[in-house]
A and B are shown apart, each in its own frame.
Chain A
Amino acid sequence: MSWTFFKHLWRSQRAKLLIVSVAIFGWSTFLPVIYQSFGSQMKALIDSGVIPKQFTSFGGGDVFSLGGSIALGYIHPISIILVSIFAIGLTTSAVAGERQRGTLEVVLARPLSRRTLYATLFVGVLLFIGIVLAAAIAGTVVGSAASGLLGELAAERLPLLWLNGLLMWGAIAAIGLAASVSFDRLGPAIGVTVAIVVVSYFLEILGSLWPDAQGLQPYSLFHYLAAREVLAGTTDVAGLALLAGVALAAIGWALVEFPRRDLAAPS
């Protein structure tokens, strides 16, 4: 860990971190309100048979329960995009982007090993994701309180929900950083990471909407972001372990590959 490098990372990201945290806080506040306002009407609509049953769940989330609406908030493209600003955007640009711009040259000319650089980046990204997820949980609590639903919220399980989110996004961030240290240009690093995330997301959503495709869901990282189950007290520990395993595999790859690579002059 390099404290100087970490401070630089913090300074360069703090404005973005503030904006993303405020945005996800607002989004998370909104979902309990939707559940409270429209949940019963939506349920009645589904029960009437106008909308097919398979569309009642989107990636494990719905608007018929507080847990379902919180889960919907986590799997919704809005929160995926917000957290991806750090988990994909920052990780891929942190090494491959700086290589392409040529700024990594002046940093690596200092007494800073590549592993130290990587470790500092990973800890920094994990911290930023942790802050964003904490803002999301804070938004959930505020939204639930504002809607008079605080009694329904299993507050003691919120830290586990935060950990679940951190593990899932940590795994994606580790994949992003592994891609970043493996390429000299930003394009391929972003391409590989986004492809993994999009395919993973597609498998989870497809499985949630189409019963015949449910068998594909375990192959998706998003399948293990199980907010509803965590809040219901039925946490899948094996799923959390799997997320940690994916993250560790990506970290291992980066720690072996990055120091071993030749860093040719940026073109």
Chain B
Amino acid sequence: MDALTTTALTKRYGHRELPIQRLARRLGRQPSGDVLALDDLSISVTEGEIFGFLGPNGAGKSTMIRLLLGYLHPTAGSATVLGRDIVRDSVEIRRRVGYLPGGIALYDSLTGERLLDYLGELTGRPPTRRAELLDRLEMSARTMRRPVRDYSRGMRQKMGIIQALQHDPELAILDEPTEGLDPLMQRAFYGILDDLREAGRTIFFSSHVLSEVERVCDRVAIVRRGRLVALEDVARLLERRKRNVELRVADGDLPRLEGVPGVSAIARTADGRLTCQLEGDVGPFLAALAGHSIVDLTIEPAHLEEAFLELYEDTEPDDGEPATAAASAGETGEAGEAVA
């Protein structure tokens, strides 16, 4: 079952104009100043998966999250969260969802403990995971008795994570969750996500730290200027990536790789090295090396960062117009081809 589905979800920010301003703009033939923040976005997130939602600043990530939680109203399209409509059932959705806003602000005058109690009471569900989260994120009882104003940025972020997850929500929507966390705490947080996944919880994870998305997410959607440019399994996305290969042979007898499936950009150097790019199955490539005395072979692992940059490069000429076939991949929740 889908934990979250959006269908052609669109959000246009329009600033309100007084009639005199509207008239002046029309007389001056100026554009309205409206911004299309999310354009025809269709995705679905399956229950129990960790779904990464990627894009640079201003791509529409926060707009999407704010639509899902009822802070914004869609201009067109629809969406459901845990089977409930985001417009009609916003309150019920928020009862079952945990949300960590990006750059969270907290009530500074309250102690950590009092703050979690207050937010837990507002949620109306018992904070069943709080003790475990406090322990794993190393927030001691003494720290929790101090006012939030005394907390460092990292401690505030940990409080943000705890308040979002303490009531064991069915779906957690986390916006840049590791911002401000040190590497040890990031690792602890990844462990928490793994446990949530094992417990069947769904995580909607917005980030621009691609290495962490690659580490924790099952699938990713990549948005650019409010439009979906890719929606795919992380593993499959990486599989399709071209990896850089460098090899050196003992006797200068470089193998012939032309025509080998998946191999491209072959280059030979005077010092007996060969570089190329490898895509997909490595079997044919390794078979082509058989019989050659290989001294050194390096195949760089594929990273999401390169896939992300490649997708952006592919779509960069587009300046506000829809990417071709955007809808085809965007309209399904299945792992599909990158769009553009």
* Residue among A101, A108, A260 facing the most chain B CB atoms (10 A cut-off): A108
Q: Which residues of A contact B95 (CB under 8 A)?
A: 111
- Contact assessment for A111 and B94 in the assembled complex, using a CB-CB cutoff below 8 Å: yes
A265: B residues at CB distance < 8 A:
62, 66, 101-102
Pick the interface stretch among A1-9, A222-230, A238-246. A1-9
**Chain B residues with CB under 8 A of A110:** 94, 119, 122-124
A266 contacts chain B at the CB level, 8 A cutoff: yes
- Give complex CA distance A103, B118 in Å: 13
Q: Known contacts A12-B109, A106-B119; decide if A113 and B69 are in contact (CB<8 Å).
A: no
* Chain B nearest Cβ from A111, distance in angstroms: 4
Bound complex: CA A262 to CA B72 (Å): 5
**Complex CA distance for A4 and B90, rounded to whole angstroms:** 19
Q: Is B92 an interface residue (CB 8 A)?
A: yes
Cβ contact within 8 Å between B13 and A105: no
> How big is the B interface, by class?
20 to 34
Q: Is B189 an interface residue (CB 8 A)?
A: no
A264 contacts chain B at the CB level, 8 A cutoff: yes
Of the candidates B73, B90, B105, B124, the one whose C-beta lies within 8 Å of that of A105 is B105
Q: Which residues of B contact A8 (CB under 8 A)?
A: 118
Asked whether A106 lies within 8 Å of B163 as measured between CB atoms, the reply is: yes
B299 part of interface (Cβ distance < 8 Å)? no
Q: Taking the nearest CB of chain A, how far is it from the CB of B38, in angstroms?
A: 12
For A264, list chain B residues within 8 Å (CB).
Answer: 13, 66, 71-72
B70 CB, nearest partner CB in chain A, Å = 8
A107→B122 contact, CB < 8 A: yes
Closest residue on chain A to residue B75 by CB atoms: A262
Given A4, A105, A111, A266, which contacts B118 in the complex, CB threshold below 8 Å?
A: A4
Asked whether any CB of chain B lies closer than 8 Å to the CB of A195, the reply is: no
B17 to chain A, nearest CB (A): 15
Contact A266 B72 (CB under 8 A): no
B75 CB to nearest chain A CB (Å): 10
Q: How far is the CA of A105 from the CA of B160 in the complex (A)?
A: 11
Report the minimum CB–CB distance from A185 to chain B (whole Å).
Answer: 14
Instruction: Say if the beta carbon of A263 comes within 8 Å of chain B.
Output: yes
CA distance A110 to B99 in the complex (A): 9
Q: In the complex, what residue of chain B is closest to A266 when comparing beta carbons?
A: B105
Name B91-122 residues within 8 Å CB distance of A: 91-92, 94-95, 97, 99, 101-107, 109, 118-119, 121-122
* B72 in contact with A106 (CB, 8 Å): no
Out of B13, B66, B91, B121, name the residue touching A4 (CB < 8 Å).
B121
Residues of B within 8 A of A213 (CB): none
Given A2-B122, A262-B13, A263-B72: A101 touches B91 (CB 8 Å cut-off): no
Which residue of chain A has its CB nearest to the CB of B124?
A111
**1/0 per position for B60-85, CB-CB distance to A under 8 A?**
00100010011111000000000000
A101 / chain B contacts, CB cutoff of 8 Å: 105
Expressed in whole angstroms, the Cα–Cα distance for A98 and B208 within the complex equals 27
Give the one of B102, B109, B119 with max A CB within 10 A: B119
A109 to B106, CA, bound (A): 13
Chain B's closest residue to A8 (CB) is B118
Q: Is A112 located at the chain interface by the 8 A CB criterion?
A: yes
A260 to B102, CA, bound (A): 23
Question: Known interface pairs A2-B122, A265-B62. Does A106 touch B101 (Cβ–Cβ under 8 Å)?
Answer: yes
Q: How far is the CA of A4 from the CA of B117 in the complex (A)?
A: 10
For chain A, residues 87 to 117, give those with C-beta under 8 angstroms from any C-beta of chain B. 101-103, 105-113
Cβ–Cβ contact B94 & A102, under 8 A:
no
- B101-A105 in contact (CB<8A): yes
- The smallest beta-carbon distance between B32 and chain A, in angstroms, is 16
Q: What residue in chain A is nearest B37 (Cβ atoms)?
A: A264
A106: chain B residues within 8 A (beta carbon): 101, 104-106, 119, 163
Q: Are A111 and B123 in touch, CB under 8 angstroms?
A: yes
Contact check, A108 vs B71: say whether CB atoms are below 8 A apart: yes
A149–B133 Cα distance when bound, in Å, is: 65
**A112 CB to nearest chain B CB (Å):** 6
Annotate A239-267 by CB proximity to B: 1 below 8 A, 0 otherwise. Answer: 00000000000000000000010111110
Q: A264 CA to B104 CA in the complex, in Å?
A: 14
Among the listed A102, A112, A262, which residue makes an inter-chain contact with B105, where contact means beta carbons less than 8 Å apart?
A102
Interface residues of A in 47-85 (CB under 8 A from B): none
CB proximity of B275 to chain A, nearest CB, Å? 45
Instruction: Report the nearest B residue to A260, measured CB to CB.
Output: B73
Q: Are B101 and A263 neighbours in the complex by a CB distance under 8 Å?
A: no
Cα(A222)–Cα(B67), bound, Å: 43
CA distance A112 to B72 in the complex (A): 15
**Complex contacts, A108 vs chain B, CB 8 Å:** 69-71, 94
Given contacts A2-B122, A111-B91, contact A103 B13 (CB under 8 A): no
10 closest residue pairs by CB, A with B: A102-B105, A111-B95, A110-B122, A109-B99, A4-B121, A263-B71, A105-B101, A262-B72, A111-B94, A111-B91
19 A–B contacts, CB within 8 A, in A order? A8-B118, A12-B109, A103-B105, A103-B106, A105-B105, A106-B101, A106-B119, A107-B119, A108-B94, A109-B99, A110-B119, A111-B91, A111-B94, A111-B95, A112-B122, A262-B71, A263-B71, A264-B71, A265-B102
A residues sitting closer than 8 Å to B (CB atoms) are 2, 4-5, 8, 12, 101-103, 105-113, 260, 262-266
